[in-house]
Structure 1
C-alpha cells in the first residue's frame, strides 16, 4: 500500500518543519506479541531461510523453537532486565536469540562482529552483560579464543573478576569449550514448567529491549537503548512503504547486529508475515544473487555498494531476477545510474531509499515506491508516520525551506537514551528532539536531501564546504564507481579538500582527468587539492564508508611523501 501525501507531510509557512501522517496508528505491543500475531495469521508461511536453504523454518516452528531457547535462558537464571550480548555474523541463532531474549524481557546487546578484545571488553563493562552468546569464529575473528583471553576463569568454572555480572558464555557451534555452554543445550534445558513460566512474565512495550553501540568514530561508543515500542513500529512503517505482504520473500544480506538487519529486516518482515531469506553469514554478491534466483525472492535490502557489487556480478554471470519487485537502499548516496540499473537489470522498479540513525530506531525518512527516480536518488524521501522533523540552524532556529541545517527528529522512534550515560543523553536529546548531527535540506514537497554530517563539514579559508555536494558531482563521471570526500588539516587554509575515488578502470582515469572534470563546473575552492584513486574504500561491517580511516591513512601518505621529498643532508 502507498499513502498519499497529506497536508502535514509538506512544510508549513515556509519553514523546514514537517509532521508525518497519523495513519496507520501506532501499535502498543511487544516483540513476543508481534511474533504471536504472525503465527496466528501466517503460521504455515516460511519464516526464515538460512545458508542457501539448508536451514528453513515455518513461522509456527520458529516460534516454538524461540520459546524453547527462551526457557533455556530462564534455566540459566537469566531474567527480565538482564543484558545478553550477541556476538556473531548473520546466523539462525542470532534471530532465535533476538526473539528469545525479548520473550523473557532480557535486553539484547548487539556486539559488532568486527570487534576485537579491547572493544569487546569495553562493551561488556559498559552494559554489564549476564551472558554472551557467540559464534565460534567468523572470517579472521576467533571469538572463542578472544573470550578465553578475556575470561581465563572460564576453563576452571570460576567467576570473572573483570566482569562480575557475567555468568554464562554460550557458543553457537563446534565442540564444547571448557566453561562454555553449547547453544543447542538451551532448547534441551526447556522443561514444561519453564515453558509455562514464559506467559507469566510481565513485559511492557516501553521496556528497553535492545542496546546498539554507535560507531564511536568521535570517542568511545555509546549504547543507544531501544524499546519494543520503538523498533516494532519502525519495522512496520518501513515495510509499509515498500508494500510488503505475507506473500513477499525478503532477502536480507545486511548485518543483523545493525538496525537495517534486525529492525527493518526481521521485525519488518514479521510484522507482515513475510519470509526472511539470509544468503550467508556476510554479504557476498554471487551468493545473494543465487538465492534471489533460487528462492524467487520479491524484495532485497542493501547499501549502494552492495548493489554496485551485485550489478558487477550480473555483468559477468546472468541470473533470472524477474521475481524481484521492491526493496530498500540505505546508508549512502545512490548514484542515479546505479538506481536505473537496479530498476531495469534487477527488476526492482519499486526500490526505495531511506534515512535514519540507530538512535531513532532507525528510519525517519523514506521514499514511496512510486516516487520519481530522480527523487529516489537526490533525496531520502518524505517523513515517516507519527514523527516530526525540523531543520535547525546554528542559532537553534528552524530554517526556511531550501536552506540547510541540522536535522532534529521527534516522536515514538527516539531512543530511551544512551545506556548509563545521562550526560551524553542530555547532549543528544533536547525536549524530546533527537539532534542527529546530520545536515539536511527540505523542499516545498517535504522531500529531504542529506547534505552531510555536521562534523564532516570542511572549512577551507573561511568557506564552508559540504563533502556530499562534491561527491554527488564526481559520481556523475562515467568512469567513477564510488567516491568519498573529506577534509585534512592545512597550515595555510585550515583544511583542504581530499577525495578518494574508486574507478571503473584505474588505467583509464587519472588525477588530472578528474581535476579537469571539476574545473569550471564547481567553485575553485571545492575542487579537491588531493585526489587518490583506490581499488576500494574502507567500510564498516554495515557498508558505510569510514572517512576517519581514510583521513588517517591520507595523512600518513602525505607525511611519507613530504619526508621523501625533503632535502637530504649532504
Structure 2
C-alpha cells in the first residue's frame, strides 16, 4: 500500500463498507457501492485501452458519477482532469488540447459543445456520457452511456500496483490567461491539500499509508461541499471527507440557492458546511435572514471557507445565526494546497490571515536583477511553500520555471500572494501581489478594502482596483454591487470604511454595477472591473 489516493480509499471503503459515503439529490451510495462502481468503470477504461498516465476529462455538474469516475481513474493510474462546465468553445478547446485528453466522461447535455471542438483535438478517442435527462443523441460524438459501460465489468480489484507519485492534475483558471494544469503527485496533494488524513483525528496526519484506517472515526461526520466539484477547493474537500470515512453531501442544483441549500443541510443533518468565500456566504446569509427559525440546523457545528475571500463581515454574520459553531477560513491555492487557516482571530487588522513561519512556509524576496532570498523580519515579499508541492504546470515549462524556483538549494513554490514576515516570526498574507495598488508610494491590497466594503449593510458585493491618477500614480476605485433598493454615495461609503481601514486606503471613487464581473471559474474578474472603472461607467 502507498500514499496513492486509490489505495487509501480502498482501505477506508473496506473498513466502513456499509456506511453512507455520498449523497447528491436522490442518488445515494455506501462506501461499498461507490467502490464497486469505481472498480467497474476502471475495468471499462482499461478495456478500451486507457493506460497509466492517460488524461481523462471530467466534464460534469455535481453528481455521484463525478467522484466514482475520479476513483476509477486513480484505480488504473489514469489522471482525471477537471473541466469547467462554464467554458465556451475557445476555452474548452484549449483545455481539451492542452491536457492531452484521451477520453472524456461528460454529462449528456454537453455533447454539442464537445462536438464543436472534437475535430480539433487529436488524442481524444473515447467519450462516456452520463445521463442527465436530456435526449441529445449519443451518436453525435460516438459516446457510450456511462451505466451501460459499467454493465458486466468485473468487480475485482485486480489492478496493477500503484505509486504515490501518480499524478493528480488540477486545472485552475487563475486570475489571468488560459487555464493551467497543476501537476500534483498523489502523496504531495494528500499531505498539502488533504491534511494527510488527519483533519478529524486526534492522531494527526498519517505516518504510514496503513494509518488511514486508524484515522476513521467511530461516529462519522456529515459534510456538504457547496461548490462545483470542478473547483479545486470542493474537489479536495470531497476527497478529505471520503478518505475519513465520513458522509459527503453534494449540492445537486446547477446554481446556489440559499433556501435550497438550507433544505438539504436540515434534511441530511449536516455537521460541516464548506463554502467558497463571500460569493456563497451572501445568498446563504440572505436566506437565513429572510426565514428566521425555518430550519432545524442544530446539527451544524462548523462553517468553513476556502478558495476565496471570506470577509470578517460575513464571518460575523454567520456567528449571529450560529453562535455556538466554529468558523474556519482556510487560505491557499491550486498550486499551494491549504497553506493556513484562521478561526476569526487574526493578528493585526490587515491581511487574509496569519501563519507560523516554518522550514516549509516562508516569505521569499523576488526582485529584478537580484538573487532570490528569504525575507528578513519586517520585509514584504511573496508567500512561498516547499516540501509537499506540485511538480509544475502541465505542458507549460515557462510558467513552471517562473513559479517553482530554487532558493538556497531548495525548491520553493511562489504563490503570487504578497506576504510580510512579522517580528514574531509569523507570516501575514495579504493577497495577490499582482493586484496591489501603489498610491503615492503606499501599497494597498484590494482584499482588505473589499473586506471593509462588504461590512456595509447596503453592499451586496464589491471589487477594488487601482486606476491611473495624475498626482498619486494610482487611486483606489471600488466597483460595487448594491443591494436592491439601496442608494449609495461616495461620502457615505468612505465614512463607513474609515471604521475598518486607514484613511489612505479609502476608495476615492465608487462605480455601481448591476453584477460583479467574474471569470468562468467563478473567481473575480479584476480585468473587466478595472476597464469598467477606467471607462467611468456607473460612477457616483
Answer whether TM exceeds 0.5 for this pair.
yes
Q: What per-residue deviation string (whole Å, max 9, x for no partner) do you get for residues 85-135 of structure 1?
A: 111221111111111111101111111111111111111111211111111
Q: Distance in 2 between matches of 1:354 and 1:520?
A: 25
Q: In structure 2, what is the equivalent of residue 230 of structure 1?
A: 188
Distance 1:445 1:313, change over 3 A: farther
Q: CA deviation at 1:268?
A: 0.4
Q: Distance in 1 between matches of 2:396 and 2:29?
A: 40
Structure-to-structure mapping, 1:264-343, within 5 angstroms: 265-282=237-254, 283-305=256-278, 306-317=280-291, 318-343=294-319
Given candidates 123, 131, 138, the residue that maps to 2:95 is: 123
Structure-to-structure mapping, 1:408-423, within 5 angstroms: 408-412=384-388, 414-423=389-398
Q: In structure 2, what is the equivalent of residue 187 of structure 1?
A: 150
Q: In structure 2, what is the equivalent of residue 177 of structure 1?
A: 138
After TM superposition, the structure 1 stretch with the greater mean CA deviation from structure 2, 240-249 or 96-105, is 240-249
Q: In structure 1, what is the equivalent of residue 399 of structure 2?
A: 424
Q: CA deviation at 1:212?
A: 2.1
Contact 1:365/1:448 (<8 A) preserved: no
Contact 2:350/2:430 (<8 A) preserved: no
Q: CA deviation at 1:79?
A: 1.8
Q: Does 1:353 align with 2:329?
A: yes
Given candidates 216, 227, 230, the residue that maps to 1:257 is: 230
Q: Distance in 2 between matches of 1:238 and 1:377?
A: 30
Q: Distance in 1 between matches of 2:116 and 2:323?
A: 48
SS of the aligned residue for 1:225 comes to: strand
After TM superposition, the structure 1 stretch with the greater mean CA deviation from structure 2, 539-548 or 515-524, is 515-524
Q: In structure 1, what is the equivalent of residue 339 of structure 2?
A: 364
Q: In structure 1, what is the equivalent of residue 206 of structure 2?
A: none
Contact 1:46/1:57 (<8 A) preserved: yes
Distance 1:290 1:401, change over 3 A: farther
Q: Distance in 2 between matches of 1:453 and 1:167?
A: 39
SS of the aligned residue for 2:386 comes to: strand
Contact 1:440/1:448 (<8 A) preserved: yes
Given candidates 113, 117, 130, the residue that maps to 1:150 is: 117
Q: What per-residue deviation string (whole Å, max 9, x for no partner) do you get for residues 246-277 of structure 1?
A: 520001111211221111x1210122100000
Q: CA deviation at 1:466?
A: 2.2
Contact 2:227/2:251 (<8 A) preserved: no
Contact 2:431/2:445 (<8 A) preserved: yes
Q: In structure 2, what is the equivalent of residue 515 of structure 1?
A: 494
Q: CA deviation at 1:228?
A: 1.4
Q: CA deviation at 1:287?
A: 1.7
Q: Distance in 1 between matches of 2:230 and 2:500?
A: 41
Structure 1 unaligned blocks of 5 or more:
1-26, 138-142, 152-159, 562-570
SS of the aligned residue for 1:121 comes to: helix
* CA RMSD of superposed structures (Å): 3.0
Given candidates 140, 146, 165, the residue that maps to 1:206 is: 165
SS of the aligned residue for 1:201 comes to: coil
Q: In structure 2, what is the equivalent of residue 100 of structure 1?
A: 72
Q: In structure 2, what is the equivalent of residue 35 of structure 1?
A: 9
After TM superposition, the structure 1 stretch with the greater mean CA deviation from structure 2, 36-45 or 373-382, is 373-382
Q: Distance in 2 between matches of 1:523 and 1:35?
A: 49
Q: CA deviation at 1:237?
A: 1.4
Q: CA deviation at 1:415?
A: 0.8
Contact 2:200/2:244 (<8 A) preserved: no
Contact 1:406/1:436 (<8 A) preserved: yes
Q: Does 1:545 align with 2:524?
A: yes
Q: CA deviation at 1:350?
A: 2.0
Q: In structure 2, what is the equivalent of residue 15 of structure 1?
A: none
Q: CA deviation at 1:383?
A: 5.6
Q: Does 1:389 align with 2:361?
A: yes
Q: What per-residue deviation string (whole Å, max 9, x for no partner) do you get for residues 44-86 of structure 1?
A: 11100011xx111110111011101111111221121111111
Number of paired residues? 507
Distance 1:534 1:348, change over 3 A: farther
Tell which has more relative contact order, 1 or 2 (C-alpha 8 A, sep 6+). 1
Given candidates 44, 47, 51, the residue that maps to 1:79 is: 51
Given candidates 41, 63, 69, the residue that maps to 1:91 is: 63
After TM superposition, the structure 1 stretch with the greater mean CA deviation from structure 2, 484-493 or 111-120, is 484-493
Q: Distance in 1 between matches of 2:324 and 2:253?
A: 24
Q: Distance in 2 between matches of 1:495 and 1:455?
A: 14
Structure-to-structure mapping, 1:13-92, within 5 angstroms: 28-51=2-25, 54-92=26-64
Distance 1:443 1:28, change over 3 A: farther
Q: In structure 1, what is the equivalent of residue 452 of structure 2?
A: 473
Q: Distance in 2 between matches of 1:441 and 1:449?
A: 5
Contact 1:380/1:447 (<8 A) preserved: no
Q: Distance in 2 between matches of 1:425 and 1:383?
A: 26
